[in-house]
A and B are shown apart, each in its own frame.
Chain A
Amino acid sequence: MRLYLSQIGALVRKDLLIEARLRERVVAMGAFAVLIGILFNFALDRTAVRPQEIAAGLIWLTIVFGGLMGMGRTFQMEREDGALEGLLLSPVPRDALYLSKVVANFVLLSAVVLLIFGIFGLFFSLDFGRSPLALVAVILLGVLGFVALGTLFSAISAGTGMGESLLPILVFPLLVPMVIYGVTATAALFAGLPPAEVSGSLRMLGAFALISLAGGTTLFRFIVEE
């Protein structure tokens, strides 16, 4: 077990180190968040609708598009010089490899989500409600499930000719629960409702995350092995 965790730790460290040095994905996702916010400003008619009312939906959609864009490159870095083969040669269990990518993507995405909240809060003078902890729980659980699925499918898309353009087709149908429960809970919390109101959604988001993680952990090796 200690070895397993050490292996995952080493891999996560590798991914975060590379990201810190290249800053490709985080810059792309961050710029995307800001630019989408700008576009939303022009796309919304503020006389017809108050941003506060639809903010939850806008935020989650931005998370979906931006997040997927960033996750698409997850296995890109493993292609140069055949790095993935080097990892597969080592005694690392394939599910450890998957989990390390999930953790790294989760860290990355969480940072971007923070940015999105900041930007949208700024652009649209949003009120985030009175229960920040519940809000954080909703976001984190949703993002966890999202990252579990996105990481798994980005391994698939990296192995196809279509690459990243395949990712939305594969992932979006499965993200419907996250969007439904995530947006509903977020909107409720933004409106000032107490955390107890969103416990059902939290449970479902938890189930979603659990199923996606379990599926990904079990199935990853079939994607990456020949």
Chain B
Amino acid sequence: MSSRTRLLALALGVLGVLAMLVLHWQVFFWVPTEASMGIVQRIFYIHLPAALVAYLAFGIVALCSAVYLWLGEEKLDMAARAAAEGGILFTAIVLITGPLWGKIAWNTWWTWEPRLTFTLLLFFIYLGYFLVRSSTENAQQGKRFAAVVGIIGALNIPVIHLSVVWFRSLHPEPVVLKAEGPTLHPDMLTTLLTGMLAFTLVFLSLFLFRYAVAQLEYHRALARRDADRAFEGSGPSRPRDHATGGGR
């Protein structure tokens, strides 16, 4: 089962890398320069797709978490975690490209631009997801806690987004807000779409690889447990090593 997943992941990865190459060619050689901001605006074609993928990833986290809590199937938790790892990676890309762009274009590292601010909040929701997972004594509890964090995060995200955008409308900063510039040239749109395709493919590839690895780890742990039991003969199994929750 996981070899099929890995094959698919590989295929998507190859396609993704190809799309990335196309994207880079477009960004550096083909797309016209935006009038008001100059060359640095090209970061946008990395910045925006990364943001969209980060949001998509979180949607997957929330969905898988919800079904995981409902059905209790381990592989849903594996999928949620794999999506979260990809998601936090792309969130980091957004948070790096954003200030970089801001510094070069407008000489300010941080402008409280609503989308960027929102992505920063999303980063911390992701962080909470991982922290809660790893800081419980009982691993199963950690998975459930993380699922709750993911779902509640997703439920509140619309309100958070609305509030951040509204706040910005009350306190406008003297900086050009429309990152795309006043008009979107068709070539720019094409580049943007290539970017979204490339990033989505790469994310899906990473996601599937990570999921396959998680599956392998799980099966190995199960096999080890069954081997222990077989070695000791038929009968009740012995709790392994650190029987934290398993004891009495």
Chain A residues close to B by CB (< 8 Å)? 149, 152, 156, 159-162, 166, 169-170, 172-174, 176-177, 180-181, 184, 204, 207-208, 211-212, 214-216, 219, 222-223, 226
17 more contacts with CB within 8 A, not counting A174-B125, A180-B167, A219-B152, are A156-B132, A160-B136, A161-B136, A166-B132, A169-B131, A170-B132, A173-B121, A176-B121, A176-B164, A177-B156, A177-B162, A180-B163, A184-B170, A208-B156, A211-B156, A211-B159, A215-B155
Task: Supply 11 A–B pairs (Cβ within 8 Å), ascending by A.
Answer: A160-B135, A173-B128, A174-B153, A174-B156, A176-B121, A180-B167, A184-B170, A204-B163, A208-B159, A212-B156, A215-B155
Number of A-B contacts (CB under 8 A): 92
Main SS class of interface, A? helix
CA–CA, A212 to B151, complex, Å? 11
Contact indicator B144/A162 (Cβ below 8 Å): no
The residue of chain A having its C-beta at the shortest distance from the C-beta of B146 within the complex is A156
The residue of chain B having its C-beta at the shortest distance from the C-beta of A149 within the complex is B152
Given contacts A174-B160, A184-B170, A211-B156, contact A219 B151 (CB under 8 A): yes
Chain B residues close to A by CB (< 8 Å)? 69, 121-122, 124-125, 127-128, 131-132, 135-138, 140-142, 144-145, 147-149, 151-153, 155-156, 159-160, 162-164, 166-167, 170, 245
CA–CA, A108 to B152, complex, Å? 24
Contact indicator B152/A177 (Cβ below 8 Å): no
CB distance from A16 to the nearest CB of B (A): 26
CA–CA, A156 to B142, complex, Å? 9
Q: Say which residue of B141, B147, B159 sits within 8 Å of A177 (CB atoms).
A: B159
Closest 3 A-B residue pairs measured CB to CB? A177-B163, A160-B135, A180-B163
CB distance from B152 to the nearest CB of A (A): 5
Given contacts A156-B148, A215-B155, A219-B152, contact A161 B135 (CB under 8 A): yes
* Residues in chain B near residue A176, CB distance under 8 A: 121, 160, 163-164
* Residues in chain A near residue B124, CB distance under 8 A: 169, 172-173
Listed residue (B122, B137, B138, B156) with the most chain A CB atoms within 10 angstroms of its CB: B156
CA–CA, A177 to B167, complex, Å? 9
CA–CA, A31 to B156, complex, Å? 32
CB distance from B76 to the nearest CB of A (A): 13
* Residues in chain B near residue A180, CB distance under 8 A: 163-164, 166-167
Contact indicator A159/B136 (Cβ below 8 Å): yes
* Residues in chain B near residue A169, CB distance under 8 A: 124, 127-128, 131
* Residues in chain B near residue A174, CB distance under 8 A: 125, 152-153, 156, 160
